[in-house]
Amino acid sequence: MANSLSHVLPYPIRQCLFTLEISFRTSAGTPTDPTSADTELSSDGGATSSDCTNEITTGSGNGVGYLTLTSTELNNNVVWVIAKSANCLTSLVALYPRILASVGTGTLSAGSAGGGTLGTLLAYDVTGCFIQTTGGTGGASGAFQARKIVTYNTTTGAFTVTPNWETTPSTDTTYSVLLPEGVTLGMLKALNPTTAGRTAVVDASGLIDANMVKAGPTGSGVAWNANTTTHLNVIYDTDYTDNYDASAKALLVKLANKAMGGSSLNITYASAQDFTSTQKSSVTAAVPSAATIAATVEAAILNEGDATALLAAISAKVEEFLINEGDATATLAAIAAACNAAVVAGTVGTNVAAVKAKTDNLPASPAAVGSAMTLTLSQAIPMVDVSGDSTVTVGSSLLSARAQGAGAWAIVGTVLTLKNPDGTTFRSFNLDSLTAPLSRT
For 70, 112, 148, 184, the CA distances from 9, given in Å and listed in that order, are: 13, 20, 8, 20
Please tell me whether residues 76 and 109 are part of one structural domain.
no
Overall number of domains in the chain: 3
Q: Are residues 129 and 78 in the same domain?
A: no
The pLDDT of residue 399 is above 80:
no
> Could you tell me if 65 and 120 lie in one domain?
no
122 and 64 co-located in one domain: no
**Whether 64 and 28 share a structural domain:** yes
Of the ranges 98-112, 234-248, 396-410, the best mean pLDDT one: 98-112
If residue 320 lies in a helix (H) or strand (E), which one and from where to where?
A: helix 305-324
- The values of phi and psi at residue 92, to 5°, are -120, 130
Provide the percentage of residues in the chain whose pLDDT is more than 90. 36
Return the percentage of the chain with pLDDT > 70, whole number. Answer: 61
Domain boundary among 42, 74, 95: 95
Give the torsion sign (CA, 111, 173, 119, 130). Answer: negative
Q: Does the residue 107 lie in any domain?
A: yes
pLDDT attached to residue 86: 94
Q: How far is 153 from 125, CA to CA, in rounded Å? A: 7
Q: Give the domain-ending residue among 164, 188, 212.
A: 188
Has residue 34 been placed in a domain? yes
Q: Are residues 117 and 37 in the same domain?
A: no
Asked if residue 88 is part of any domain, the answer here is yes
* In a domain? residue 433: no
Query: Is 387 among the domain residues?
Result: no
Q: Is residue 356 part of a domain?
A: yes
For the chain, give the mean pLDDT.
Answer: 76
User: 219 pLDDT exceeds 90?
Assistant: no
Alpha carbons 127 and 104: distance in angstroms, whole number: 13
Distance CA 234, CA 230 (A): 6
Domain identity same for 80 and 126: no
Both 301 and 356 in one domain: the answer is yes
77 and 119 together in one domain: no
Is residue 313, in this structure, part of any structural domain at all?
yes
One domain, residues 14 and 90: yes
Domain boundary among 327, 360, 393: 360
Verdict on whether the full-model pTM lies above 0.85: no
Strand residue runs (E) in 154-210? 158-162, 174-178
Domain that holds residue 135: 102-188
pLDDT in tens, 254-293: 554 444 443 334 343 333 444 444 444 443 344 455 566 5
What does the pLDDT average to over 294-322? Answer: 59
Residue 396's pLDDT is 75
Same domain, 9 and 89: yes
Rounded average pLDDT over 155-181: 96
Q: Give the strand order in the sheet containing 79-84.
A: 50-51, 38-42, 79-84, 91-95
Average pLDDT of span 338-344: 64
- Convert the pLDDT of each residue in 84-139 to its tens digit: 999 999 999 999 999 999 999 999 999 999 999 999 999 889 999 999 999 999 99
Burial zone of 6 (CB within 10 Å; 0-12 exposed, 13-18 middle, 19+ buried): middle
Q: Indicate if 15 and 78 belong to the same structural domain.
A: yes
User: Is 65 part of a structural domain of the chain?
Assistant: yes
Whether 322 has a pLDDT exceeding 70, the answer reads: no
Question: What's the Cα-to-Cα distance from 133 to each of 3, 30, 95, 142, 326, rounded to whole Å?
Answer: 18, 40, 21, 11, 111
Instruction: Quote the pLDDT of residue 439.
Output: 85
The CATH number of the domain holding residue 76 is: 2.60.40
Report pLDDT for 287.
45
